[in-house]
Amino acid sequence: MKSFFLSFKYAFEGIVSAFKKERNLKIHFVIAAVVIVLGALFKLHKLEWIILILTIGIMIVLELINTSIERTIDLITEDYHPLAKQAKDIAAAACLVFAICTVIIGLIIFLPKII
Ligand X SMILES: Nc1ncnc2c1ncn2[C@@H]1O[C@H](COP(=O)(O)OP(=O)(O)OP(=O)(O)O)[C@@H](O)[C@H]1O
CA distances (Å), origin 103, targets 3, 15, 106, 112: 39, 23, 5, 14
**Residue 72 binds ligand X, judged by CB under 6 A:** no
The only residue of 68, 77, 104, 108 in contact with ligand X, by rule CB under 6 A: 77
CB 115: neighbour CB atoms within 10 A? 5
Which member of 7, 65, 72, 81 binds ligand X (CB under 6 A)?
81
Q: How many residues does the chain have?
A: 115
Q: Where do contacts with ligand X occur on this chain (CB under 6 A)?
A: 22, 24, 70, 77, 80-81, 84-85, 88-89, 92
Tell me the catalytic residues.
63
